Amino acid sequence: MKKDIIPHNSAEILSALREINPFWVNKEWPDFPQIRRYPFYSAVNYLEEIGSQRALFLKGFRGVGKSTLLRQIGNWLRDERKVEAKNIIYVDFEKRPLRQIPWKAWFNVWEKELKPAEGHIYFLLDEIQYADDWAQEVRSMLVNTRYRIVATGSAAAEIQTVLDQEVRRWISLPVPALLFYEYLLIFHSNTNAYLENEILKGRSFFQEGMLDAAVVNRISDNLKELFKSYLLHGGFPEIAKVNLNLTDAQRLLADVVDKALYQDMRTQFSRQDIENLERLFEYICRNPGVLLDKSKVSGMLQVSRPTTARYVKALEDGDFICSLNNQNRAGKKTLKAKPKVYPADASLRNSFLGRTEEVLLQSEEMGHIVEGAVAAHLSAYTQAEGGQIGYWRKKDNEEIDFIYKGTDSKYWVIESKYGQSNAKWLRALEKWPISEKERVSVCFLVNRDNADAKERTPLKELKCPLHVIPAPVFLYLLSRELWIKANKKITDKNPTTGALTGKAEIEGSTNITAGSTGIKVTKKST
């Protein structure tokens, strides 16, 4: 249904556009974050590669920082790509009065009043689902070879339908909740600077081999308490930055969930459907890593299996959950196997269930929480770097938590045992096919403590090391590696444009001195 349009004259529309595009008059957005997350580098890399016939969509849960990322792209275009400011237009469709203004009205005013210069024109379209006929309007704009379009949106089910139908016109880029390294980089810069300068000293985790036990222990000692805070309320930038107490932070996160369900889903689902989606999400939050039996869930919700499958897809599309498939030989999916399902972010899960600091003392539940955090980080790594992520399970319940197959066809094997025995996992490794063992590059046993941080050989048949590593260290180093790689791609492509290196970016955000070691991004491949 079309919105009721309130008449606006050209002067009102221009004033609204100027207010949200301060760089047109050499001003900056107020309280604008300078730290760039890894999806920023992925986004600008895509932006330089895609042609005029495809738009870029930044996809993620409410509150993960998509709008900030969009504005950072605008600043990068102006400051580092030297694009004329009037050739960059940011439109926030969630806010009035632009929410009530027809697409062609603001477009015509911008084109007439600002008179864009030659070259590409960049449209940064925030919360695009609030614009009438947005898919059709974007489709018509892509005909113009000068236009480059980047969009965000929160009505996940509705938007995903368009993205699925128009795959040739859109590139979808996931923007997850904050990864652990990003959380430290943004909100605990002093700790991060210390780790970079005094401990890591430029070493790159997966590129240059595993760190020794002494280094792992030192990193772990600095991360223990911050890791707890991250699990409870650290995944969402706008909430983490205000340093709220846990109760207030979780209240705000609960509000985010309510909006994502009852506002963003309402165009695709009935009220009863949304209540069932909430029940299903609660079930997954209470049972992270559950092998999702759609027959069981159908009975629990009293709906059909196709409806259950639709609910699961909606939660996946909405970035509430992430799913892993069982992998058979050669890393192929076992289609008949049940998916292994996790909440997409630990802090989202804990706030939804109202978990307090006491959860940190509950060994079994912390095991589930940490396993979910590992799943989220590995999923983010896979989405950014390519490859496949899944689990492996035999009928006798022998299981390997995570198997990552990289684009080089080599495997990582990861088991999350936060304070639990590893004996059962080692038995599962023995039953894993030999042909796949020969391609394994590294095994990780992610545990609670740093006392056991060392390298071992798990099996004679498995020709790779087994690294026993505390969960905070594993997540920190994995997400750090992802951040460096994303930064490196755009820096290597444009070495003379002013794009920041990993070293420069970190120095600018953590007060590292110019002469410090920082991060050395090498040409060495993984």
Domain boundaries defined on the chain: 10-175, 181-480
pLDDT score for 450: 64
Task: Say how far apart CA 289 and CA 398 lie, in whole Å.
Answer: 15
* pLDDT (average), residues 44-50: 83
Predicted confidence (pLDDT) per residue in 281-290, tens digit: 999 999 999 9
Question: Tokens representing 276?
Answer: 């069932």
Predicted confidence (pLDDT) per residue in 280-328, tens digit: 999 999 999 999 998 999 999 999 999 999 999 999 988 999 999 987 6
* Nearest C-alpha neighbor of 42 from the set 383, 318, 389, 509: 383
SS3 category, 241:
coil
CB-based contact 220:199 (threshold 8 Å): no
CATH 3.40.50.300 corresponds to the domain 10-175: yes
CB-based contact 436:332 (threshold 8 Å): no
Q: What is this structure's pTM?
A: 0.87
Task: Say how far apart CA 447 and CA 379 lie, in whole Å.
Answer: 19
SS3 category, 452:
coil
Predicted confidence (pLDDT) per residue in 481-501, tens digit: 999 888 877 666 665 443 333
Task: Say how far apart CA 80 and CA 72 lie, in whole Å.
Answer: 11
> pLDDT-based confidence at 329, cuts 50/70/90?
low
